[in-house]
Structure 1
Amino acid sequence: MISKSIKTTVICSIILFSACKKDKTQDTEKTMSDNVLLQEWTGPYGGVPAFDKLPVEAIKPAMVEAMALNLAEIETIANNTEAPTFENTIVAMESAGKTLQHVSTYYGILSSNLSSPEFREIQSELAPKLSEFRSKISQNEKLFKRIKTVYEASLTTPLEPQAQRTVFLIYKRFEMNGANLNTEKKKRYAEINKELSSLYTDFANNVLHDEENYITYLTEDQLEGLSDGFIKSAAKTANDKGESNKYAITNTRSSMDPFLTFSENRELRKQVWENYYSRGDNNDEYDNKAIIAKILKLRRERVGLMGYKNYAEWRLQDRMAKTPENAMQLMMAVWPAAIARVEEEVTDMQDIANALGDNITIEPWDYRFYAEKVRKKKYDLDSEEVKQYLQLDKLTEAMFFVAGEIFNYNFTQVPEDSVPVFQEDVKVWEVTDKDTGKHIGLWYLDPYTRKGKRSGAWATTYRSSSSFEGETNVLASNNSNFVKPAPGEAVLVSWDDAITFFHEFGHALHFFSADVKYPTLNGGVRDYTEFQSQLLERWLSTDKVINNYLVHYKTGEPMPKSLVEKIKNAATFNQGFNTTEYLASALIDMKIHLADPENIDVATFERETLKDLGIPKEIPMRHRTPQFSHVFSGEGYATAYYGYMWADVLTSDASEAFAEAPDGFYDKNEANKLVKYLFAPRNAVDPAEAYKQFRGRDATIDALMRDRGFPLNK
């Protein structure tokens, strides 16, 4: 997921702010000029964020001044008396907001990696002020008039390709955000955005509250089935929370998933499952259902001001899918095969349970547990055995190897204290070209879960590539939530977690390989930008990675060929579960935005829609509606969660291009085409055209169905 993560230009994507309190050691606040967060980034590598100096009380005054600076820049552009040109309007806009971008980086860390109750309170208070700031730019009539003039001129006298694409994207962004509305409608549009910004913040903070406060503590007699490594990590987590001689199962996927897979205690599995899937849905002050209903109404009203029938119609016009109908067509083409496979999987699991004399009917909290037993029976594949060969450090080395082979990058860890970090577990590597030694950028890795860190895995940039004012290097990061091991223990992860690790690194490589002139072109088309990262997952299964980096954490012996063969034979195992839980979320996301939001009961809608779709009772949505942060803590994935499957169609199709190449996934010709057409252009080329340049044709769904072991549609 991109923060899952692609930074767009400052006027559209900043979600910032925090507390402003007096320094308790002084009688007065620091003056703005003394605020470290407003200062230029200094030090090596073109200047780096001062992450070692990140006081919460500095964020609010920094944001206030940074917004004022940005608005002054925008006013200068809008009030320019010279005729509008690409240089004095579009380029000037691309150059504006640098201080605000810097402050947004610090805010992002406090929001996602180091959140605190103090920060969340002020964040909620100031969210509407940020919305007002954005509206002052998007509704600046003089500014939009200049943009429109440049855009219309470019239709008759085209600019060079990257400039032309930049003008189009900026014009389209303003148009989609109400720039063509009359004064009265603009006022209402801004009011809606202001209210939505507060609702998004409240939604996210409610989910984070439930993740932090629903913890299951185990005693010594409740550990049956759990691995030694997991037990040690759970003990350390409990001890860190002040509970000695206990074992903590936190309310995050990284803790929940392995517990449900291996714990022999069915009642505890149910408790952990219910805690996780009830986030934001506990009928208390942190419940999100009423918030969602308000969001849906406001989104529909806002796009209605511009003449759209529903939010999905408005949102998808600049995505690859173009229309909700196209997105639904793809999802429903796969859905029947997915739920049919679930029926087969549940039958296999029930047979195992019956043979063991367990006298149960498979329920959602049983799925992972009995699926693991089916895996062992069908493929003689033990997930715990696989984990012994999946060390986080070695996986990191494997990713660096792939980056070297495909992108010609070299990663060298920088000395500690040479680059400031915001937490002691964060490590930094310099990225260079293998042949020339040219500096590309820095890669930050924040691997472990902690209080105040949002769940999941994501990638982001602190500085993106551009060249219109001189070439810039890239500062990118990957963030995970692996459970920190006990001292001296290796970090062992599941195969699925290893895939996710490669996935997020794919986003980072997309950042590093960008070859674009203007910052706007670093933005992404949501149902396309997941493609590059999903594609990188495929290198985890290549022989060169398996044979050289998947080694036993104690003996150092490579993974046995017999185990490798089992993994490959089981490649389509549990695809019913994986596909159905994902598609359930994607379908609800689309359908709830197509529905009439008046008097909508979110719980009833979710329940009845899933029933109409025929979802098997044994499977929940991957992200239930009250905790669906992709969709309701912002707008990046709203009506766009389908994009992972859209991207996976491209991924499966592109993977077959590598599989058919003379040197497979390490074929130099295919690798060069991959970088040239699919990674380097970012959004400088229309995604559909970029894929055609790589593949020579459009992608088809057939490769996806083959990948998942589903029958091809006739």
Structure 2
Amino acid sequence: MTNALIESDNPLLRSWSDQPFNLPPFKDIRTEHFVPAFDVAMAAHIADLEAIASSPLNDFDSILGAYDRAGTLMSKVASVYGNYTSSLNTPDMQAVQTEMAPRLSRHNSKAYDIPGLFQKIESVYEIRDEKLKSGEWSAEKARFAERVHKKFVRMGAKFDAVTKGEYADIQAELASLQTKFMQNVLKDEEEWELVLTKDDFAGCPADVIAAARQVAVDKKKEPDDYVMTLSRSMVEPFLSYSTRRDLRKTVFEAFSKRGELFHERDNLKIALEILRLRRRQAQLHNKGSFSEYQFEDTMAQTPEAGMKLLNDVWVKSKDAAKREREMLEAFVSEKGETLEGGIQPWDWRYYAEQVRQAEFNFDENEMKPYLSLDAVTNAAFDVSNKLYGLKYVKRDDIVAYHPDVNIYEVRQTKDKSGEDELIAIFLHDNYARPYKSSGAWMSEYRTQTKNLALGTDPIEGIPVVSNNNNFSKGSEHTLLSFTDGITLFHEFGHAHHGMLSNATYEYLASTSVLKDFVELPSQLMEHWLSEPAVLKEHAKHYQTGEVLPEDLIKRFKAAELFNEGFNTIEYTSCAMLDIALHSLSEYGDDFDLAKFEQEYLKEQGMPQGIIMRHRPPHFLHLFASSSYASGYYVYMWAQVLDNDVFAAFEESGDVFDRETADRCRECIYSTGNTVAPQELFRKFRGRDPDATFMLKNRGLIPQ
């Protein structure tokens, strides 16, 4: 098999040893390569698993060690495929995705139903405590046995044959529907446009206008045309600064209705089908709801625990939003303006910016010239170096899958000799473009591992990590809002999780942690961008090189918490509705998802003038996969953790304290899922998490 693969004409099946760092041969990969590559890779994966099940050997490495190494080719093909369907999802690629979604789901189900395999997994699981106590196994081995066994059980390994068949059918149907949901949102964002003139951008920053003109150029419009798209990086600044209320309304309504803009792409119907299938999935596991099933394998453990945190924050954030709304209304009144219907969702950001300038003498646009993409990227690299000793060496000679992508070697000092060693490869893909999913995310082309097969090139254990953002590309310079900068730092925190991983087994490495722990590393990284020391060193004017003025930093810090009520309401409403929706015991023939959304938010007292940040028809976290379904609360859960962890740096007297950073690296970034997250937090902090830090930092309780 191996020789055949090396000689294949399909670049996805060839050995990549001729590529720098064994990276995928991006320049050779074509859409038509994926389906035949998967045919070979899936067969090889099943053969690997069958070999484990039929082997007469029953020691740890012959079962779990081999299980961790199984499907190497499948992992390679699937990693490229997953990144392409997010970052380069052309119509041809979408056709492949539509075909492969149910097939990959069927393959996944089959991989958990190899005759005799679960029995071997269970035999190892049952002796884990004994082996741990005797010292024959490390704690990581015992954890590995526990996690693999749990996954098999959650995938239906204990079901009878009939139930397994139904469960596989459910998973395949979910895969198809979730793919369709995602593609519908992508198509809405691709197709919707608003052609304007330069005068229509009255009040907007120069970089927003430049981005709109660049879109017009890319779309081959007329010389005087400027085009608004539904990219969040264009929409939010337009809503914040455009003086044209009519245009703000047009843009906002289109943005909030992604996934239901066109009758032929009605994501509400798809979402309802997904909910019903998830409900049946939970029933097969004897759970009362899909939420109950999802929460079983989290730090929170129960939907009630997740909802308790959200409710506590909700009450405080409603009070804050009410105070903010009163400030906006007072401002409108003082200006002698009249708003039909009062402050509407397309007004809130605009008047919040007006109040921010009036009350705090701060305009976020003042900071943009100091926050070029290059400056913020360099700041992230520098923070990474000061905390964890990482160095980033750009490799312009390596061809990526798109010209916008930058590739870096990530190195650290090996020992006292001062020599550098390679610890990761990092791909940075920052710009919005056609056929790229909206939002921001971290992914991997290769996950860190020490469990390599005999004779494998050691480079295969080095992680290849990718960050994707969706910033509007300027014609000459890309200037970021502070929120954009936070997004870059957030994803870079996820990248740290992958790059600093130091697990033995790939199954436990990197971001393979419980869902309500995975956002801790990313949200923790966000804190450093607003540190005055970082801003003074890296926030430099893109034209003059002038350092961000001290006075501007002070005004920024004074205004930092303004509008946090609005921001918290936007997020928390999504997380609460997510749990409530997935906690229902049934979705009858007359169930109306849009009506449920309206009635639930009304019942919770949703403040007027604010809507959910992600409404159901475009809520990709919920309906483009099952990963964050009944799990969107994790961002708030992780905020409790990240604010508490950052407080440890502040308490040291130096936010770059290396002793604290070393403990953070060990407990937060490097350990992966080799230790239960509750234990990791206690090891770092010496106690359980305290929500007080989060509430204070969001301005929801007195400082």
With normalisation by structure 1, the TM-score equals 0.93
Q: 2:505 aligns with which of 497, 502, 518?
A: 518
Q: Say if 1:54 and 1:106, in contact at 8 Å, map to a contact too.
A: no
Residue of structure 2 in register with 1:197 after alignment = 175
User: 1:19 aligns to what?
Assistant: none
> 2:209, 2:121 → 1: CA distance?
59
2:673 aligns with one of 683, 705, 711: 683
For the Cα contact (< 8 Å) 2:19–2:25, is it kept in 1? no
Match of 1:438 in 2: 421
The residue that corresponds to 1:36 in the other structure is: 11
Q: Deviations over 1:225-270 (max 9, x none)?
A: 1122221121110121121221111112111011101111111100
Name 1:146's counterpart in structure 2.
120
C-alpha contact 1:151 1:167 (8 A) present in aligned 2: yes
Stretches of structure 2 that go unaligned for 5 or more consecutive residues are 453-457
Amino acid at match of 2:682: K
Q: State which of 27, 31, 38 in structure 2 corresponds to 1:63.
A: 38
Deviation of 1:318 (Å): 1.4
User: How big is the shift at 1:44?
Assistant: 5.7
Q: How does 1:460-471 map to 2 (within 5 A)?
A: 460-469=443-452
Kept in 1, the 8 Å contact 2:105–2:175? The answer is yes
The correspondence for 2:408, drawn from 416, 420, 429, is 429
Structure 2 CA distance for aligned equivalents of residues 229 and 185 of structure 1 = 56
Cα offsets for 1:649-686 (capped at 9, x unmatched): 01111121111113x21112111111111111011111
2:375·2:539 contact (CA, 8 Å) conserved in 1?
A: yes
Give yes or no for contact 2:122–2:149 (8 Å, CA) kept in 1: yes
Task: Determine if contact 1:51/1:106 at 8 Å carries over to the other structure.
Answer: no
- 1:703 and 2:703 matched: no
CA distance in 1, matches of 2:420, 2:20: 14
Cα distance in 1 for residues equivalent to 2:111 and 2:277: 21
Q: Which residue of 2 aligns with 1:318?
A: 297
Question: Using the alignment, how far apart are the partners of 2:644 and 2:129 within structure 1?
Answer: 34
Q: Counterpart of 2:489?
A: 502
Which residue is equivalent to 1:14? none
Shift of 1:543: 2.8
How far apart are the structure 1 equivalents of 2:568 and 2:594? Answer: 23
Residue 577 of structure 1 aligns with which residue? 566
Are 1:464 and 1:511, in contact at CA under 8 Å, matched by a contact in 2? yes
Q: Tell me the CA shift for residue 283 of structure 1.
A: 5.7
**Does the 8 Å contact 1:45/1:441 carry over to 2?**
no
Give the SS at the match of 1:401.
Answer: helix
Code of the residue aligned with 1:106 in structure 2: it is: V
Alignment match, 2:238: 259
Distance 2:295 2:37 in 1: 35
- Matching residue within 321, 325, 350 for 1:342: 321
Residue in structure 2 matching 1:536, options 525, 545, 569: 525
Aligned CA-pair RMSD: 1.6
Match of 1:174 among 152, 164, 172: 152
Distance 1:457 1:537 in 2: 14
Corresponding residue to 1:454 among 437, 447, 465: 437
**Alignment correspondent of 1:554:** 543
| Aligned counterparts, 1:89-488, within 5 A | 89-158=63-132, 159-244=137-222, 245-282=224-261, 284-360=263-339, 361-414=342-395, 416-417=396-397, 419-434=398-413, 435-469=418-452, 472-486=461-475
CA distance in 1, matches of 2:488, 2:311: 29
Deviations 1:574-602 (A, max 9, x none): 11111000001101110000113233211
Instruction: Write the deviation string for residues 317-371 of structure 1: whole angstroms up to 9, x where unpaired.
Output: 1111111110001000110111111111111111222222321011000011000
The answer (yes or no) to whether the contact 2:242–2:248 under 8 Å persists in 1 is yes
1:666 pairs with one of 656, 667, 685 = 656
**Displacement of 1:77:** 1.1
Amino acid at match of 2:502: D
1:385 and 1:220 map into 2 onto residues whose CA distance is 21
The runs of at least 4 aligned residues of structure 1 exceeding 4 Å deviation read none
- Contact 1:254/1:481 (8 A) holds in 2: yes
1:75 to 50, 66, 74: 50
> By how many angstroms is 1:556 displaced?
0.8
Query: CA–CA distance in 2 between the matches of 1:44 and 1:279?
Result: 40
Distance 2:25 2:572 in 1: 41
Corresponding residue for residue 622 of structure 2: 631
For residue 665 of structure 1, give the secondary structure of its aligned residue in structure 2.
Answer: coil
Identity of matched residues, % = 36
Give the letter for the 1:151 counterpart.
Y
Q: What amino acid sits opposite 1:39 in the alignment?
A: R
Number of the residue aligned with 1:654 = 645
Deviations 1:283-324 (A, max 9, x none): 611111111111111111112112111111111111111111
TM-score, structure 2 normalization = 0.94
Residues 449 and 505 in structure 2, CA contact (< 8 A), matched pair in contact too: yes
State the shift of 1:32 in Å: 8.9
Counterpart AA for 2:194: T
Contact 1:403 1:409 in 2 (8 A): yes
Compute the displacement of 1:220 (Å).
Answer: 2.8
AA aligned to 2:420 is G
The residue matched to 1:33 in structure 2 has which SS? coil
Distance 1:526 1:96 in 2: 24
The question of whether the paired residues in 1 share the 8 Å contact of 2:86 and 2:436 is answered with yes
Are the equivalent residues in 2 in contact too, given 1:510–1:679 (CA < 8 A)? yes
| 2: CA distance, partners of 1:227 / 1:195 | 45
Partner of 1:20: none
Whole-Å separation in 2 of the counterparts to 1:45 and 1:151: 39
Contact 1:582 1:621 in 2 (8 A): yes
C-alpha distance in 1 between matches for 2:645 and 2:122: 38
Please give the alpha-carbon distance, in whole angstroms, between the structure 2 residues aligned to 1:31 and 1:648: 47
Q: Which deviates more from structure 2 when the two are superposed, residues 469-478 or residues 176-185? A: 469-478
Deviations 1:136-168 (A, max 9, x none): 111224111110111002133222111111111
Q: Is the 8 A contact 2:532 2:553 kept in 1?
A: no
1:712 Cα offset (Å): 6.8
Contact 1:32–1:65 under 8 Å retained in 2: no
Q: Is the 8 A contact 2:6 2:13 kept in 1?
A: no
Distance in 2 separating the partners of 1:324 and 1:68:
39
Distance 1:122 1:460 in 2: 20
| 1:31 Cα offset (Å) | 12
Question: What are the superposed Cα offsets for residues 272-293 of structure 1, whole Å, 9 maximum, x if unpaired?
Answer: 0011100112361111111111
Deviations 1:465-502 (CA, angstroms, capped at 9, x unpaired): 1112257212111111111111xx22111011101110
CA contact 2:362–2:555 (8 Å) conserved in 1: yes
How many residues matched?
678
Quote the offset at 1:81 in angstroms.
Answer: 3.1
Q: Is the 8 A contact 2:195 2:228 kept in 1?
A: yes
Question: For 2:429, what is the secondary structure of its paired residue?
Answer: strand
Shift of 1:45: 5.1
Aligned to 1:692: 682
